Structure 1
Amino acid sequence: MDHSITQQGSNELCDVQDQDQELFLSKLPKTKGWLGSSDLSLYQNFWCPSTLVPNIISFQKHFQAHDQDIILASKPKSGTTWLKALLFTIVNRTNSNLSDTPLLNSNPHELVPFFEFTLYANNNELPNLSDIPSPRLFSTHIPYASLPESMKDSKSRIVYICRNPLDIIVSHWHFATQADGVHSCSKWTLEEFVDVYCKGEEIFGPFWNHMLGYWKQSLENPQKVLFLKYEDLKKDTKTQVKRLAEFVGFPFSLEEENKDIVEDILKLCSLRNLKDLEVNKHGKFMPYFDNKSYFRKGQVGDWANHLTKAMVKRLEKLIREKLSAYGLTFELVI
């Protein structure tokens, strides 16, 4: 499989006319995804559900970033939902009291919408983003290299959350299992999930390219990209949340800290509290994912309860080769 040809074709996307898009998409390399009715396509050197490629193309072609925009980027199952709740609450804390925040009645994914899953999901109509108050909050699972140029060139800020790949795999496997009763899925074993992750053929993967893209940008341009580790956020949530607030331009004042506003936000956005909200117990964010499926354990190191020694050894070797060489490391207790 010549991925270099695919990459070249993808980079020439802007020259592809709408009537040629179907042909273009049909020629992309494919691999099996865990959703039984959906395969993955290799687009611009990352794998994503084939049904999402047109949405991503539309996003890349048409989105115009504002300097005040804040984008939350992540690999799936890295703590996205939690960080959305925190980010939304931090930015909007002066617009409403925590006692009547929209977070109490809306799933975090509704408040910080995905470009590829939600905003650009209607191929026949572009979203009207002009009425969204500033700062606009968006999210994406797309790798940095494939973000629209307007986003890279603007002063918009990107918050990236990264998680130990071993925990991502376990969380993703549980997520797939929960969705199994809702949608016709392939019943993948945990071993199969480990295998596709090691091959880099997982959704929005390879994971090492995804992580490194944002990691390198955070080092080269720390005013543009904030790189957060899920493990650090769990270990010292208050410090990391204050760091997040500072980065997005909404730092906590001394008066707010004296009034324990930070602690109130942490309590509001805790996994336990979010999980207990009625809005997150019922309904669906997307047709085949119950809201409750986004709130499981959120633990660090849960992989140790699921992965075999052979799986861990294989993954540890891959992480060391692909990530550690660039200074991106994770604690692995074997």
Structure 2
Amino acid sequence: MASTEGLQAYEEENLLLSLPKEKDWIAQHLYLFQDFWYPSNFIEGVINFQKHFQAKDSDVIVATVPKSGTTWLKALTFAILNRQRFSSSHNHPLLTSNSHELVPPLELIFHVDNIQDKLSDLSNITEPRVFGTHVPFPSLPKSIKESNCKIVYICRNPFDTIVSLWIFANKNNPLNELTIEETLEKYCKGIVGFGPTWEHMLGYWKESIANPNKVLFLKYEELKEDINFYVKRVAEFLDCPFTEEEESNGVIENIINLCSFEKMKNLEVNKSGTVGRKYEKKYFFRKGEVGDWVNYFSPAMIEKLSKTMEEKLSGSGLSFKTSP
């Protein structure tokens, strides 16, 4: 009789064989699963995450579109939640660990063989537990949707996101032969990791309107414009608002400085090593600017993406600022 793990591996292998797939420019392939495209090196973790993760009411989930400020929002959320535990900026975990290590992606956590051991590890983490995910809202486990855990979501204007995706792919996969025009084409069609990005953004956007105590929807450009306001907004949303004493003592400014792009990029811990055995830490920090896309887009590309955005986001109320 086949073991449970062996049977599960057999079922997942057969599931993959039945799914539509496309060549990816970072992973080997993308698989269309539950109406979204998942990288081949994440799909097993996504399935296990859905099956086995049990959310606690105190959990915080940092959900993001890839290449939209994930590293920054993870750092900010971790620092806000743990400001009592790590009040001194001299020995803060963010100085010695990458934010993806401190706020690990659930689809990566569950990309393991021994699920029971992993579940035991997760149950012993100090609360509030904070995790990351790129999984779209419709595909989140029931326990996340039905518990009182909170979701902080961030996305970025598609112009800058496409440039960031393309450069990140080239750095992580030197064999990538896609031009930026071809990358734009795939992005518009929705054939990108954890995409279509339009449906990804709209899923969390609609939920943030329907259930504002559950999902806080942020835009990268707005964080850049008024980081002080949004750090306070995140803290309020997570039910740990800053006190007047904290504000007067510069706690907010300390968190902003600790998590700043320049600070994190120049830390030794972020200059070498990998996240998840594949992605080099140094490649998570490029420019962090709004509007850098103007150096890469042709007029035809601008027209194509503008028309696609208008078509996909029409009537939703979701819009983006594309320049500083």
* Secondary structure of residue in 2 paired with 1:98: coil
Match in the other structure for 2:3: none
Question: How much has 1:27 moved relative to structure 2?
Answer: 0.6
Please state whether the residue corresponding to 2:115 is helix, strand or coil: coil
Deviation readout 1:273-302 (Å, 9 max, x if unpaired): 000111001111133321110011110111
Partner of 1:6 in structure 2?
Answer: none
**Partners of 2:90 and 2:263 in 1: how far apart?**
13
Q: Structure 1, residues 300-322: CA drift from partner, whole Å, max 9, x if none?
A: 11111111111111111111111
* From 275, 281, 285, the counterpart of 1:291: 281
Aligned identity (percent) is 51
Q: Which structure 2 residues correspond to residues 137-156 of structure 1 after superposition, within 5 A?
A: 137-156=130-149
1:235 aligns with 2:225: yes
CA distance in 2, matches of 1:49, 1:174: 17
After TM superposition, give the deviation of residue 187 of structure 1 in Å. Answer: 2.3
* SS of residue paired to 2:122: coil
Aligned partner letter, 2:173: D
**Which moved further from structure 2: 316-325 or 25-34?**
316-325
Do the aligned residues in 2 keep the contact of 1:56 with 1:116 (CA within 8 Å)?
A: yes
Q: Is the contact made by 1:75 and 1:207 (CA closer than 8 Å) also made in structure 2?
A: yes
In the alignment, structure 1 residue 160 sits paired with structure 2 residue 150: no
State the AA in 1 paired with 2:168: F
Q: What is the root-mean-square deviation of aligned Cα atoms in Å?
A: 1.4
1:19 is displaced (CA, Å) by 3.4
The alpha-carbon deviation at position 332 of structure 1 amounts to 4.2
Q: TM-score, normalised by structure 2?
A: 0.94
> 1:188, CA displacement in angstroms?
1.7
Query: What does residue 47 of structure 2 align with?
Result: 57
Distance in structure 1 (CA, Å) of the matches to 2:13 and 2:312: 34
Q: Residues 271 and 283 from structure 1, CA distance in 2 versus in 1: closer, same or farther, beyond 3 angstroms?
A: same
- 1:177 equivalent in structure 2: 170
Asked if the contact 1:54/1:123 (under 8 Å) is kept, the reply is no
SS for the counterpart of 1:139 is strand
- Describe the superposition over 1:141-189 as per-residue Cα deviations: whole angstroms up to 9, x where unpaired: 00000000011000000000011011110011111122134xxx42221
> Contact conserved, 1:52 with 1:116, CA < 8 A, in 2?
yes
Shift of 1:123: 2.7
- 1:18 is displaced (CA, Å) by 5.3
Distance in 2, matches of 1:18 and 1:40, equals 19
Whole-angstrom distance in 2 between the partners of 1:123 and 1:87: 29
C-alpha distance in 1 between matches for 2:249 and 2:299: 48
Moved more, 242-251 or 73-82: 242-251
Q: Which of residues 260, 266, 271 is equivalent to 1:281?
A: 271
SS of equivalent to 1:129 = helix
Q: Deviations over 1:31-72 (max 9, x none)?
A: 11003x610000000001123221111111111110000000
State the secondary structure of the residue aligned to 1:51.
Answer: coil
86, 96, 105: which one aligns with 1:114: 105
In structure 2, the gaps of 5 or more residues are 1-6
Distance in 2 (alpha carbons) for counterparts of 1:95 and 1:50: 38
Which aligned segments of 4 or more residues in structure 1 are displaced greater than 6 angstroms? Answer: none
2:65 corresponds in structure 1 to: 75
Tell me the residue number matched to 1:10: none
Q: Is the 8 A contact 2:188 2:308 kept in 1?
A: yes
Contact kept? 2:170, 2:176, Cα under 8 Å: no
User: Does structure 2 retain, via aligned residues, the 8 Å contact 1:58–1:123?
Assistant: no
Secondary structure of the corresponding residue to residue 109 of structure 1:
helix
Name which of 89, 103, 118 aligns with 2:79.
89
Q: Which residue of 1 aligns with 2:245?
A: 255
Could you tell me which amino acid in structure 2 is paired with residue 115 of structure 1? Answer: L
For residue 248 of structure 2, what is the amino acid of its counterpart?
N
Paired with 2:113 and 2:23, the residues of 1 have a C-alpha distance of: 24
Answering whether residue 96 of structure 2 is matched by residue 105 of structure 1, we say yes
- Distance in 1 (CA, whole Å) between partners of 2:316 and 2:211 is 16
- Determine the structure 2 residue equivalent to 1:47: 37
Question: Which residue of 1 is the match for residue 122 of structure 2?
Answer: 129
Matches within 5 A, 1:322-333: 322-332=312-322
Greater CA deviation, 209-218 or 288-297? 288-297
Greater shift, 300-309 or 208-217, is seen at 300-309
**Residue in 2 aligned with 1:199?**
189
Q: Which residue of 2 aligns with 1:4?
A: none
1:34 and 2:48 aligned: no
State the number of aligned residues: 313
One-letter code of the match for 1:197? Y
